[in-house]
Amino acid sequence: MPSDEQGDKRRGIAGSPLHAFRDSPPPSVVVQVDFGAESRRGAQRPANEDHYLVVRLGRNQETLLTSLPDQAVLERFDEYAYGMLVADGLGGTGEVASRMAITTLVHLVIYFGRWNVRIDDDIAREVMDRAERFYRGVDSTLVHRSPEGDRLQTTHTAAFSAGHDLFLVHVGHSRVYLFRNGKIVRLTRDHTLANREGSNVPLVDVGEAARDLHHILTETIGGAGVAGPRIDIDRFRLADRDIVLLCTNGLTDVVSEDRIADVLRTNRTSAEQCVALVNLAVEAGGEDDATAVVARYRIPERPRMVTP
């Protein structure tokens, strides 16, 4: 017969699931993110047609009443995921289009989202499939709500992170960059005529100031194409101290990636880095609206779980 202590260990009492959880919590509990955002109207724009949004999604459990002994269950448990969005509206209705695109997506997530904060391969596929359906819904909304003779069109780029997983959903020529170990990498491709590989919608001139093929969009939200826009959806793995930047072309048109990297390399807060990036666009004489959203990730190494 095993001793009581040995029996308790086999039943997981001495090394209870609570203790194991505290030793090795899921990444969605321990990841910390410092966010910043800044948007500025372009010198030649009557209104800022860019919009951005940063949200935190969560799930929690809170013990209200119990007869269990102290420490038998957590008093409160929380884990989080994060969403970042930028939209750059086109034409005279651009501000309305970018605003409607973001608010429509938020409503879809609230009413139909699964709020996944722990990711495995099966859930990742579900997240990506649902993201595409949501983007199709946003596109359909803008198409059907466009005033006569004046389409509501916008770029729309979103990043969703849960633990060490990062998902990107992208239409247009706003961009997402990853800054890691002192180097900057672009994670999105511009949907412009310069990068055209068979588009689904009519070409869209971003504005009268369009000077080259990098400023003529082939994919937009609200473009009224038969098949809708081509939507790029990707999944990446984050590492500790990674920095993710979402920005509109009002920044990247006039500020080089090297200079962007120089700003992200500093020890400033995310908010200060966003102000610095947008200031560079203004100082460079940028005519377009410029928006930057920065997320700095701290992802502690998960300790090894000790089996009693």
Share of the chain above pLDDT 70, in %: 82
Alpha carbon of 64 to those of 16, 67, 100, 135, 145: distances in Å?
21, 11, 39, 39, 46
Q: What is the mean pLDDT of residues 173-181?
A: 97
Superfamily of segment(s) 33-59+76-298 = PPM-type phosphatase domain (3.60.40.10)
Return the domain boundaries, the chain: 33-59+76-298
Q: What span, in angstroms and rounded, lies between the C-alpha atoms of 135 and 156?
A: 9
The pLDDT mean for the chain works out to 86
Element housing 9 (H / E)? helix 4-10
Q: What is the pLDDT of residue 196?
A: 64
Would you state the structure tokens that stand for residue 142, as one six-digit string? 């803008």
Q: Lowest mean pLDDT of 147-151, 152-156, 163-167, 188-192, name the range.
A: 147-151
**Longest CA pairwise span in the chain (Å):** 86
Q: Residue 237: helix, strand or coil by DSSP?
A: strand
Is 12's pLDDT higher than 50?
Answer: no
Q: In this structure, is the dihedral angle defined by the CA atoms of residues 197, 244, 283 and 279, taken in order, positive or negative?
A: positive
Q: What is the mean pLDDT of residues 73-95?
A: 93
pTM for the full model?
0.85
